Structure 1
Amino acid sequence: MFKFGNIYVIAAVAVIGGALFGFDISSMSAIISTQPYLCQFNQRGFDANGRCLGPTEDVQGGITAAMPGGSWLGALVSGVVSDKFGRKRSIQIGAIVWIIGSVIVCAAINIPMLAIGRIINGFSVGICSAQVPVYISEISPPSKRGRLIGFQQWAITWGILIMFFICYGSSFLQGEAAFRLPWGLQAIPAVLLFVGLCVLPESPRWLAKKDRWDEATSFLALIHGKGDTNSPWVHRELEEIREVVEFERANADVSYYELFTSRMINRTTIGVFTQIWSQLTGMNVMMYYITYVFTMAGLSDGSSNGVLLPSGIQFVINVMMTVPALLWMDRWGRRPTLLVGAFFMCLWLCLNAGMFAVYGRPPAEGEFTSKAESMAVSGTPAKVIIASTYLFVASFAPTWGPVSWTYPPELFPLRLRGKAVALCTSSNWAFNFALAYFVPPAFANITWRVYVLFATFCAAMFLHVYFMFPETANKPLEEIEEMFDDTKPGAIKYIGTPAWKTKNTRSLALRQERNEMLSSSEKVGDAVHKESVA
């Protein structure tokens, strides 16, 4: 069967799995403030104006958190599924699960049914979000790996944007169609993902681990050698993969336990905290509950969908500001990108906390429909809050957004990569679950101090990255292994080097790739010349 070998086509199809997560985020954030949704799942009765009050704050937090709860389980399971069936097949399994969950969510008639559907959707997102970066990292050349894995985050932002405006358009419909239409349409990307993966190659590294060397060689040639199995690049990659596979088989069994041994605990901690910190930036406040924030800042015009269009601007910013990371993340390196992002997010969170603390007031009786909308700000301070919220998103989008997906797959050896990234991603979803449940009651009870809490986390992650996170940009995956494992040949040049002294080797990686491509071209030219002479 014909397979696409263009690396950008492969990445573009695979990251549709990320778009599923984006669809879920905005399908909830855009709908929770609309009257059709509040009336369908109404627990609190009606206000003085006859408006439905919807679920309680705790129940709404639980509904929102059902998806990341399922994602946590899906991410953990994905390592086993990926190692057994392959990177590509595991993503296809995730696509099928998403379709099932979307049907249940679309048909939900009560809160338990809605929560179950979202748990199933989350299980799918957990699988895809863990294994798409693994799949892409194992087929990407070092100088493009950050950009290609970063497409995962860009796909998430596009999913958020597209679904948000589908929800915005649907908000003008009458009755249940206002939320059932978006929830039904979100199954379409999963269909495209499943079909598109049918014409993509499997990860050559996974094939090699399963002793399917002919297929591994063929797919490496297809992806990196334009079909030429004699390409020096293909030959070098194959030899490095063979050496790693043989070494790993001779020295260790594969299990989750190994991730916590003395040889692995350092990189496991770094990978897990990369995902944890990405959640503790506070981005969930800006995504799941942005309508709450902007309602408190006075952007609602009194209608159930009045705050949606201003909220949608931040999703446009999210999409646009991810592009610089796709273009230059491999040039910037992982460490500087994370450090700059943590600094500026801390700044904007502190500014929001100050505005709410100094100028905020308790809302008037009946002013807002949710207790989570516990503060009201108007005038210039409200404009500052809106602007700093947009700037926060603009700081997250090119930094922690894409790098949090790019960095963990680079840290681990082949035999553990599927399970390790599954563990790291499951920590992302565990904290996503906690925060999705935490934010509505937190706004209701500690008000502006929510921003102080997240600002403190951003300061802590800045210090953690600076002292503990080594640079991995532009290094082959097998070379990154040497940074942590002193049993590897040549590893002594990395062992003992502080994280803040590790360097981005972009120029060396580009030069090496260019030389090998030129060598391959010369080899083909010589063959053609000899044939013509003969």
Structure 2
Amino acid sequence: MGLKIVETKPTPPEIYNVKIYVTAIIIAAGAMLFGYCASFIGSTLTLPAFKNDFLPGLTAAEVSSTSANIISVFQAGAFFGALAGYPSMETIGRKWTLLGTTVLFLVGAVLQVAATHQIGMIYAGRVLAGLSVGVITAVCPVYLAELSPPSIRGRLIGFYEIGYQILAVIGFWLIYGIKQHMDPASSVTWRIPFAIQFIPGGILLAGCFFLAESPRYLIKAGHPEKAAANLCWLRNLEPTHPYIEEELAATVIEINREREITFGLKGGKVARYFRGLWNEASAKGIRNRLIIGAFVMMWQNMSGINAINYYSPTLFASIGVEDTLLYTGIYGVLKAAASMVFFFLFVDSWGRRKPLIYGGICSGLCLLYVAIYIKIGHPDTAEVVTASTQAGGKAAVAGIMLFSIFYCFGWNGLAWVICGEIYPTRIRGACAAWTAMWQWVFQFIIARETPAMASGMGWGMFLLFALFNFASVIFVIIWLPETVSRLVFEQSRASAASAELRAAC
């Protein structure tokens, strides 16, 4: 438990070096883009200056619909970005895909900041930002999985989630500070949140020049010497060290097995590869993993977390909270703190199934209480709020805060970890793009429909999310295997692969 590293065989301590952690942190900067874009936009759209500049003369229903469009075009762009992420990283590499994507993100940020009264520029900038983040969600988990030693893979992929949470907290609190200390009629109030996008974008852009290209990609591209050099640099070991030889041997054998999927197929190189990929993905034992990956992303999003992330002021108001931005900020801090505790201390020792089961049950109970409270107390419509209703409202606020903690000990980042572990390495990149696409499909649904659900369903929306949490528990118990055990397989496979390669020589 704790910071103890889980190993199944003796491993040289040199591999747990500063370079691999710095590499993981840089790649996790991609999640900072994701986290900030998810957190700042909902509150920014409620600022008076933004409404005056872009939504003048609209009815409340029209403002709600336009806000949903501004938020959801990001998810729509991210879907297509996830679709493009796999062919891009297989063609030009992981490093250069990230670098090019970051430049595109910064162009989108420029469009958003430069807009005056042209809402089309806001839409265009959000689409470009979404495309970029979609590529990032397809590439970063694969990149991290390929560079990480198996014994600390969960922890390093956890940096991705922590990066998301840190920038999400900044996004939540930034709007609160702006409302407290700036003229609400000034256009600067909404330009600042959009301009902050340059900070994580700039960090990722600069960090890309430090990153080592994935040895796996370099071997596939025909550069084995560079692959060996990069792996030695990452592991802090000499080329002749048995650990390096075993890891390279395992990678070569996996790539050869990947190439076997196109053997005997007709057509050009690209056509043969995609036919082979289809044959591999539709095979027994793989197609069920693809279904599991899609469901994992569905349960993560339909838990209710992104509804709160994108529309926290509206949802806090529905349970009677007046200072919605303050409570939104507190909610963000709790999420970030819980994520850090879980990924630093428990992710590689608790396994995957138990946190999802217990986290799902507790999250569902929290949202179930919120639904019951809104149904009975009517806090958002009651003319006179009784003392009991006020007390119930405090408990409902506590319920949402506890929900964020339980969620972060379960579905929050583990969805990405699991989807990086359940697929065979020979098709992991394509499968990562597949699961990222489903992430954005369900995020789009939540981003687009939450305002309508909040106004039309009321308490029923929280009940629906509670039921999804309970249903996710049933799914995990019946269908989701314990993927942390893949550490045993991968670490033993390296030795076996090395022996196999020597025997073939």
TM over 0.5: yes
Letter of the 1:344 partner, please give it. C
Instruction: Give yes or no for the alignment of 1:351 onto 2:354.
Output: no
Letter of the 1:173 partner, please give it. M
**1:319 corresponding residue in structure 2:** 336
Alignment of 1:88-99 (within 5 A): 88-99=95-106
**1:496 corresponding residue in structure 2:** none
Secondary structure of 1:294's aligned partner: helix
Q: Deviations over 1:305-335 (max 9, x none)?
A: x421221001000110012221211111111
Q: Deviations over 1:426-475 (max 9, x none)?
A: 11101101111110011111111011111121122111111111122153
* Change over 3 Å in CA distance of 1:466–1:426 after alignment to 2: same
**1:275 corresponding residue in structure 2:** 297
**2:417 corresponding residue in structure 1:** 406
Q: Taking every aligned residue pair, what percent have the same amino acid on both sides?
A: 28
2:93 pairs with one of 86, 93, 115: 86
**2:8 corresponding residue in structure 1:** none
2:171 pairs with one of 163, 168, 171: 163
Q: Distance in 1 between matches of 2:238 and 2:485?
A: 24
Q: For the aligned residues, what is the CA RMSD?
A: 2.4
Letter of the 1:342 partner, please give it. G
Segments of 5+ residues of structure 2 without an aligned counterpart are: 1-16, 263-271, 497-505
1:384 pairs with one of 379, 395, 405: 395
Q: Deviations over 1:487-521 (max 9, x none)?
A: xx99xxxxxxxxxxxxxxxxxxxxxxxxxxxxxxx
**2:24 corresponding residue in structure 1:** 11
Q: Is the 8 A contact 2:320 2:380 kept in 1?
A: no
Instruction: Give yes or no for the alignment of 1:461 onto 2:479.
Output: no
**1:173 corresponding residue in structure 2:** 182
Per the TM alignment, residue 415 of structure 1 is displaced from its structure 2 partner at its CA by: 3.3
Per the TM alignment, residue 82 of structure 1 is displaced from its structure 2 partner at its CA by: 0.9
**1:239 corresponding residue in structure 2:** 249
* Change over 3 Å in CA distance of 1:403–1:94 after alignment to 2: same
Secondary structure of 1:80's aligned partner: helix
Per the TM alignment, residue 30 of structure 1 is displaced from its structure 2 partner at its CA by: 2.3
**2:14 corresponding residue in structure 1:** none
Instruction: Give yes or no for the alignment of 1:38 onto 2:51.
Output: yes
Q: How many residue pairs are counted as aligned between the two chains?
A: 459
Secondary structure of 1:410's aligned partner: coil
Instruction: Give yes or no for the alignment of 1:132 onto 2:154.
Output: no
Q: Is the 8 A contact 2:38 2:168 kept in 1?
A: yes
Instruction: Give yes or no for the alignment of 1:296 onto 2:318.
Output: yes
Q: Distance in 1 between matches of 2:74 and 2:419?
A: 22
Q: Is the 8 A contact 2:312 2:324 kept in 1?
A: no
Q: Is the 8 A contact 1:334 1:403 kept in 2?
A: yes
Which ranges of 4 or more aligned residues in structure 1 deviate by more than 6 Å?
none
Instruction: Give yes or no for the alignment of 1:60 onto 2:73.
Output: no
**2:151 corresponding residue in structure 1:** 143
Alignment of 1:485-504 (within 5 A): none
Q: Is the 8 A contact 2:258 2:427 kept in 1?
A: no
Q: Is the 8 A contact 1:412 1:481 kept in 2?
A: no
Q: Distance in 1 between matches of 2:489 and 2:65?
A: 47
Alignment of 1:178-189 (within 5 A): 178-189=189-200
Alignment of 1:333-372 (within 5 A): 333-360=351-378, 363=381
Q: Distance in 2 between matches of 1:25 and 1:204?
A: 32
Q: Distance in 2 between matches of 1:362 and 1:199?
A: 51
Question: Which one has a larger percent helix, Structure 1 or Structure 2?
Answer: 2
Per the TM alignment, residue 478 of structure 1 is displaced from its structure 2 partner at its CA by: 6.8
Secondary structure of 1:454's aligned partner: helix
Segments of 5+ residues of structure 1 without an aligned counterpart are: 47-52, 301-305, 368-376, 483-488, 491-534
**1:257 corresponding residue in structure 2:** 278
Per the TM alignment, residue 180 of structure 1 is displaced from its structure 2 partner at its CA by: 0.5
Secondary structure of 2:177's aligned partner: helix
Q: Distance in 2 between matches of 1:235 and 1:83?
A: 24
Q: Distance in 2 between matches of 1:394 and 1:32?
A: 26
Letter of the 1:150 partner, please give it. G
Instruction: Give yes or no for the alignment of 1:444 onto 2:455.
Output: yes
Q: Is the 8 A contact 2:172 2:328 kept in 1?
A: no
Secondary structure of 1:229's aligned partner: coil
Q: Distance in 2 between matches of 1:36 and 1:257?
A: 50
Per the TM alignment, residue 385 of structure 1 is displaced from its structure 2 partner at its CA by: 1.2
Per the TM alignment, residue 112 of structure 1 is displaced from its structure 2 partner at its CA by: 2.8
TM-score (norm 2): 0.86
Q: Deviations over 1:128-148 (max 9, x none)?
A: 122111101011111100111
Q: Distance in 2 between matches of 1:282 and 1:381?
A: 20
Q: Distance in 2 between matches of 1:74 and 1:67?
A: 10
Per the TM alignment, residue 343 of structure 1 is displaced from its structure 2 partner at its CA by: 1.2
Per the TM alignment, residue 236 of structure 1 is displaced from its structure 2 partner at its CA by: 1.1
